Amino acid sequence: MTPEARRRWTGEGVMMVTLMLMGSSYPFAKEVLGTMSPLLYSGSRYLIAGLFLFAVLAVMRRPLALPRRDWLPMIVLSIVGVAAFQAFWGLGMSRTAPSIGSIVMTTTTAFSAILAWMGGRRLPALGWLGIAVAFGGVVMVVNNSLAHWTLALDNIDGALFWAVSAFVWALYVDRATPYNGRLGGLRVFAWTTLLGGAVLTGFAFLFDSLGEFAALSGRQWGYWLYTAIFPVGVAFLGLSIGFERLGVTRVMVYM
């Protein structure tokens, strides 16, 4: 096997493990959200994940600092890709079953294709058909009936939160691509995760309090820490490897 083929297959294996980790957050998060508010939960776990990613950068002796010209883009990416993404993710998780969320989040790839088309890249007719099928399938699942129309605003708000979350994640990946190439995907993930987590946690404290942590059971504490380190910290490390070895398009197909 050539070095290039070995590099590609390693990337494929890393992405399989990464997606299993990311998917594992759904049932554990639902358990924690039985006690903790969605905004505080989402923001606080991303703060921990950001610190974990900086520790990984330090151990790997990778550069930590950002060039001055990249501070504003990183702040914007943090607000979009972490603060907004996780706010809507948490709100969606608190209102619907994890299975619904995991299905609606698959529209990320469709949103990525639309953003690519808006950026001037050609999308063939088969691609548009795939997008239509993806969104049609989500509507069918959320409607939960093939015989009757059951959707109404009071029972789809959770799915709408998930859809917005999928869109802002696709937007984040699309806009972060040039910075991943220049700064390295891991450094971009570390900064945006830490800054976005800080922004969302600060916003959450307008409505919530530290007392929610005291209300967590021992098991919920374990779930909170697990969903910070593995489905975010370790998974983002895997995504950075995937971007480097497979490219953005292949990684989004996995997503």
**Per-residue model confidence as pLDDT tens digits over 144-186:** 666 666 555 555 667 788 889 989 998 998 889 889 889 998 9
Say what the pLDDT of residue 223 is: 96
Q: How far apart, in whole angstroms, are the C-alpha atoms of residue 137 and residue 131?
A: 10
**Whole domain around residue 147: which residue ranges?**
3-254
Say what the pLDDT of residue 195 is: 97
User: Whole-model pTM?
Assistant: 0.85
Say what the pLDDT of residue 253 is: 73
Selection from 154, 248, 234, 237 nearest residue 188 by Cα: 237
The total domain count for the chain is: 1
C-beta neighbour count of 239 within 10 angstroms:
23
Q: For 90, how many CA atoms within 13 A lie in the half-sphere containing its CB?
A: 27
pLDDT digit string, tens, across residues 182-215: 999 899 999 999 999 999 999 999 999 999 999 9
Residues 6+ apart with CB under 8 A from 33: 41, 90, 93, 94
| Most distant pair of Cα atoms in the chain: their distance | 59
DSSP 107: G
CA distances from 51 to 120, 139, 177, 253 (A): 37, 38, 22, 28
CB distance 204 to 43 below 8 Å: yes
Task: Over range 9-18, report the average pLDDT.
Answer: 90
Selection from 187, 195, 188, 210 nearest residue 46 by Cα: 195
Task: Over range 78-95, report the average pLDDT.
Answer: 91
Amino acid at site 100: I
Q: Is the pLDDT of residue 24 over 70?
A: yes
Q: Is the pLDDT of residue 234 over 80?
A: yes
